[in-house]
Amino acid sequence: MTVPIRPDAPFSVSIGGPQGALETNPSSPSFGDLLSRGLNNVSAMQDQSKDMIAAFLRGDPVELHQVMASAEEAGIAIDLLVQLRNKLTDAYRTVMSVQA
Confidence of residue 29 (pLDDT cuts 50, 70, 90): confident
Dihedral sign, CA of 45, 51, 56, 57? positive
Rg of the chain over CA atoms, in angstroms? 19
Q: Is residue 63 part of a domain?
A: yes
Q: 93 lies in which domain range?
A: 29-97
Q: Residue 15's pLDDT band (boundaries 50, 70, 90)? A: very low
Give 18's pLDDT tier (boundaries 50, 70, 90).
low
Burial readout 54-75 (b: 16 or more C-beta within 10 A, e: otherwise): eebeeeeebeeeebeebbebbe
Over residues 33-91, the pLDDT tens digits come to 988 999 999 999 999 999 999 999 999 999 999 999 999 999 999 999 999 999 999 99
- Report how far Cα 33 is from the mean position of its chain's Cα atoms: 10
Asked if residue 70 belongs to a domain, the reply is: yes
Q: How many domains does the chain have?
A: 1
